[in-house]
């Protein structure tokens, strides 16, 4: 991964503004420790902190068009860049072998009137957040990948200045307001002044953004500026957003296997050593098993002859005796990876909490619980020379793998909940996976959220995904890959990561935070934290640390807050009367389903 910082609509370039951009960029240098770059010109500044994965020698950023009239800063990976390069062979003079440079070729095609911005962005298969400045037109383009695998925040000042950064810590204290940039959207400047979205977690332009409708985004004018506004625009549209489009579809385990295999193969694109995160659960085990099959295969593109990194290393983390570690060891032996088992002690986890909250930028209880072991693991991975890892995030949202899905009343409710869960991933699991790893300069890739795979999996008939009663969750995914895994893993019950690293981890967090926060403090939580008041002592504890790092209202509003059981959305709490009054993200909260329920 990398880190980007950009400032647009600058009235006059000044040395102190350049220094401000450098200071903002320095705060996210952990994301890209390999090189730094900056561009100042026209009405824009673009800064970049690089983690070199593809083309380490010549892919430094910002990237420039051949005539240097367009400049680009990107955090991400474009998996189909070779196909796009071939499309523009002879039409665009590529300056590097960077996968991200193809965005400049596509933009040039747009500038010449050949394609739309929507088709430009739809052409990209990958994970990305980028800021592009067209010096010739004095315009900018900002965009984020469909699901929000890559983090991005946007900020504003009342004078119309626009700020962009990979993490909110770069914007905290630097602008008057900031918010998460919505996934699957873009923002482009046509001379109109830009104002904030009235609710940082709500957009009205795509069903994948929470609480939205498919109508264009038309926020109310902000008090910061009375001028005309420039809205976010959705470019990611899919038929499977609507249950009616999938309810009569077939369901094929073979199609799911073929599509996910292709996704993993695409995402092995790397010029540096890579590995896999292997928790011992179904999802990471499937990804690891597929990756191992390709780890010694040569690149098919005839322009390159080097082999991908020949030995696949797998990594697991947990307390000694954790349920995940035993299963991860079993999978590694079965598929043949070079396996590394990292143990952490409870006190080491507790000691890391403050740093974890700083790096992941949230006070959400589930996210903090799961991020801490991942943060500790990422440091070990980086120390071993691994710069990229594949992970299993996204499968539970796509296939209804969380245990509360057993309570879904019908296929329509099940499918609509999977769409809701995908729409929120950028606030939870994508945020955790990206920022926990990037804290130590490690890139995470998520094949289950591959754009092409999503279209296959989300168009699968929801009836085939349902798991009523005690039926096993994600059955169709298990059937697709059971032959690659040990039987006890292929058919293992869903265990959420923060549980699987050792039940005593969550139990200890509850006990420590309960002792640290008084009843009186919790009773007055809404007075101290009027935005998203903490609902329990553990959340109050994390919120207090978060507020020390990020005291602004913008920071507080950037974090979601809703009641949940076993990672459900608030709407899904209506599925079971037993869920009412419970607010516990652990899978063990689902009575009658989890084998070791409370």
Query: How many whole angstroms separate alpha carbon 587 and alpha carbon 11?
Result: 52
Partner residues linked to 314 by β-bridges: 276, 339
Q: Which long-range contacts (CB under 8 A, 24 or more apart) does 20-24 make?
A: 20/174, 21/45, 21/47, 22/47, 24/163, 24/165, 24/170, 24/171, 24/174
Count CB-CB contacts under 10 A for residue 510: 17
Query: How many whole angstroms separate alpha carbon 490 and alpha carbon 501?
Result: 19
Query: How many whole angstroms separate alpha carbon 396 and alpha carbon 496?
Result: 10
**Among candidate residues 79, 35, 84, 30, the one with its CA nearest the CA of residue 54:** 79
Query: How many whole angstroms separate alpha carbon 49 and alpha carbon 358?
Result: 18
**Among candidate residues 422, 420, 396, 404, the one with its CA nearest the CA of residue 477:** 396
Residue 300, Cβ density class (10 Å: 0-12 exposed, 13-18 middle, ≥19 buried): exposed
Torsion 288-292-295-299 (CA) sign: negative
Count CB-CB contacts under 10 A for residue 320: 10
505 in Cβ contact with 519 (< 8 Å): no
Tokens of residue 324, six digits: 């995940």
Which member of 2, 100, 175, 438 is catalytic? 2
Query: How many whole angstroms separate alpha carbon 486 and alpha carbon 68?
Result: 54
Query: How many whole angstroms separate alpha carbon 343 and alpha carbon 328?
Result: 13
DSSP string for residues in 189-252: -SSPPP---SSTT--SS-TTSTT--SSPP-PPPPTT--S-----EE----GGGSGGGTTT----
Structure letter (DSSP) for residue 173: T
2 is a catalytic site residue: yes
Residues belonging to the chain: 598
433 in Cβ contact with 374 (< 8 Å): yes
108 in Cβ contact with 92 (< 8 Å): yes
164 in Cβ contact with 154 (< 8 Å): yes
**Among candidate residues 76, 82, 3, 90, the one with its CA nearest the CA of residue 38:** 3
What are the residue numbers of the active site? 2
């Amino acid at each position: 991964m990398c880190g980007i910082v950009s400032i647009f609509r600058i009235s006059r370039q000044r040395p102190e503004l350049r220094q401000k951009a450098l200071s903002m960029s320095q705060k996210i240098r952990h994301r890209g420790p390999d090189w730094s770059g900056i561009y100042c010109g026209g009405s824009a500044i673009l800064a970049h902190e690089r983690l070199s994965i593809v083309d380490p020698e010549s892919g430094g950023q910002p990237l420039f068009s051949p005539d240097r009239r367009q400049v680009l800063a990107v955090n991400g990976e474009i998996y189909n860049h070779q196909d796009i390069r071939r499309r523009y062979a002879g039409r665009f003079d590529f300056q590097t072998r960077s996968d991200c440079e193809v965005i400049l070729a596509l933009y040039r095609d747009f500038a010449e009137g050949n394609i739309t911005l929507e088709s430009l962005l739809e052409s990209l298969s990958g994970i990305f957040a980028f800021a592009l400045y067209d010096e010739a037109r004095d315009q900018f383009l900002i965009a984020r990948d469909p699901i929000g695998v890559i983090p991005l925040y946007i900020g504003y000042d009342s004078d119309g200045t626009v700020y962009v950064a990979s993490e909110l810590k770069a914007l905290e204290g630097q602008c008057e307001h900031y918010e998460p940039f919505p996934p699957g959207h873009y923002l482009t400047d046509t001379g109109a002044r830009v104002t904030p979205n009235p609710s940082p977690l709500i957009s009205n332009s795509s069903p994948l953004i929470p609480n939205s409708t498919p109508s264009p985004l038309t926020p109310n004018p902000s008090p910061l500026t009375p001028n005309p506004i420039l809205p976010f625009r959705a470019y990611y549209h899919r038929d499977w957003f609507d249950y009616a489009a999938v309810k009569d579809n077939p369901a094929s385990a073979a199609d799911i296997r073929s599509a996910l295999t292709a996704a993993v193969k695409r995402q092995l694109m790397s010029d540096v050593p890579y590995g896999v995160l292997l928790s011992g659960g179904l999802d990471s085990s499937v990804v690891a098993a597929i990756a191992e099959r390709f780890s010694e295969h040569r690149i098919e593109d005839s322009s390159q002859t080097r082999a991908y990194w020949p030995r696949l290393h797998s990594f697991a983390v947990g307390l000694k005796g954790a349920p995940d570690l035993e299963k991860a060891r079993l999978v590694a032996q079965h598929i043949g990876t070079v396996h590394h088992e990292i143990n952490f002690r409870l006190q080491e986890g507790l000691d890391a909490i403050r740093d974890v909250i700083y790096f992941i930028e949230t006070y959400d209880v589930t996210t903090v619980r799961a991020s801490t072991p991942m943060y500790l693991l990422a440091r070990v991975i980086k120390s071993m020379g691994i710069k990229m890892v594949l992970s299993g995030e996204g499968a539970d949202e796509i296939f209804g793998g969380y245990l509360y899905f057993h309570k879904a009343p019908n296929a329509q409710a099940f499918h609509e909940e999977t769409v809701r869960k995908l729409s929120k991933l950028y606030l939870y699991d994508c945020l955790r996976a990206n920022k926990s790893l990037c804290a130590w300069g490690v890139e995470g890739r998520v094949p289950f959220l591959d754009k092409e795979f999503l279209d296959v999996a989300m168009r699968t008939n929801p009836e085939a995904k349902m798991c009523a009663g005690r039926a096993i969750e994600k059955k169709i995914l298990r059937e697709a890959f059971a032959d690659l895994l040990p039987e006890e893993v292929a058919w293992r019950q869903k265990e959420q990561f923060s549980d699987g690293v050792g039940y005593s981890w969550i139990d200890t967090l509850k006990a420590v935070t309960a002792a640290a926060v008084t009843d009186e403090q919790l009773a007055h939580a809404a007075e101290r934290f009027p935005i998203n008041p903490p609902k329990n002592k553990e959340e109050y504890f994390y919120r207090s640390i978060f507020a020390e790092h990020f005291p602004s209202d913008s920071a507080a509003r950037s974090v979601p807050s809703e009641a949940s059981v076993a990672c459900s959305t608030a709407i899904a709490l209506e599925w079971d009367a037993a869920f009412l009054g419970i607010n516990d993200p652990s899978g063990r909260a689902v009575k009658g389903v989890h084998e070791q329920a409370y």
